[in-house]
Amino acid sequence: MNHDDALKLFQILATVKVQGPISRKNLATRLETGEGVMRRLLDRLEIDGLIIRKKRGVIFSQASELLLSDIQVKEIVIDLQGLAVDLFNTAILIVTGAIGLRYGLEQRDSAVRAGASGATTLVYKDSKLRIPSHPTHTPVKIGITRYFQGLFQLEEGSIILIGSGPSYVVGERGALAAAFTLLPDLKGSLE
């Protein structure tokens, strides 16, 4: 399976995690893909034991719960004071298991390749959110840190990826693409 399909599988799992039972048609609409493509992707996830199809829609399996246990996804509406590059933003928290974060550039580039306007990477260190690409890892404004502390259960070393786009779907796709670069175990499970 190619990288784009693996990313779509991750989008499906993240959407099911956030929205609960959801129909194939609603998933296809939400992820802006055709129903035939969605059927093929759901078949793959079902064969791998990552979803269960019920009359009320697609639901998570126990394997998916375990696979995505350290990831939280939230659509956010906040003025990020220059941290985000478009109107609609989705934040993803990776609590543990992230590997390979350097400056956040690879995550931004992955989000852009997925069609988003960009992505912002923040690391929670010493009770403050910091931008990893800044030479001294300067903390962001305290109001933004407090906002995310209220949104997520931040732990030392947690990573927040904010995908930005002209719609929430595109922002979410960017955030998921950025997160995907830091989760080799998940990536390996889906490719």
The pTM score is 0.85
- Fold observed for domain 71-190: Gyrase A; domain 2 (3.30.1360)
125, β-bridge pairs: 128
pLDDT digits (tens, 9 = 90+) for 79-119: 666 777 788 888 899 887 667 788 889 999 999 999 999 99
Residues with Cβ within 8 Å of 160's Cβ and at least 6 positions away in sequence, in order, are 91, 92, 93, 94, 121, 122, 123, 124, 129, 148, 152
Contact, 20 vs 27, CB < 8 A?
A: no
| Domain 3-67: CATH architecture, name and number where available | Orthogonal Bundle (1.10)
Q: Which helix or strand (DSSP H or E) is residue 77 part of?
A: none
Rounded Cα distance between 107 and 159, Å, is: 11
Domain limits, CATH 3.30.1360.30, in the chain: 71-190
Domain limits, CATH 1.10.10.10, in the chain: 3-67
